């Protein structure tokens, strides 16, 4: 089995300061990898994980205010659905926006 997890890009996963969603993503992802499941994780590029890290942004938009938030969020979601045929499962941790694209 191989799955991908779109993740929040506001903070790195696992977070240094806050970010319960980011921490939950890393806990779940690292646990799946430990079980031998192939996992791609799409958080910020400075994140720490045992999974294959695939990022569209170097740092979270809360850490670097120069980013255009909407462009990055849509880029992250678009990547998931562009590559959807490569995965057995998409496990969404990116709030509700990916659900809008799920019929594609």
pLDDT tens for the chain, 104 residues: list them: 788 878 878 778 876 766 677 888 888 999 999 999 999 988 888 888 899 998 888 888 878 778 788 888 888 888 888 988 999 988 888 778 888 877 77
2-6 sheet: strands from edge to edge: 52-53, 38-42, 2-6, 89-90
pLDDT at 103 (0 to 100): 77
Angle (nearest 5°) at CA 24 between 93 and 60: 65
Pairing of strands 38-42, 89-90: unpaired
Give dist(CA 95, CA 6) in Å, integer. 9
- Token pair listed for 101: 């694209």
Look at residue 52 in the predicted model and tell me its pLDDT: 92
pTM equals 0.78
């Amino acid at each position: 089995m191989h799955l991908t997890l779109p993740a929040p890009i506001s903070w790195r996963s696992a977070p240094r300061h806050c970010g319960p969603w980011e921490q939950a993503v890393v806990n779940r992802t690292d646990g799946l990898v430990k079980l031998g499941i192939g996992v791609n994780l799409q958080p910020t590029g400075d994140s720490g994980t045992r999974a294959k890290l695939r990022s569209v942004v170097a740092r979270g938009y809360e850490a670097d205010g120069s980013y255009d938030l909407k462009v990055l969020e849509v880029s992250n979601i678009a990547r998931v659905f562009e590559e959807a045929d490569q995965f057995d499962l998409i496990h969404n941790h990116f709030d509700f926006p990916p659900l809008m694209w799920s019929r594609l």
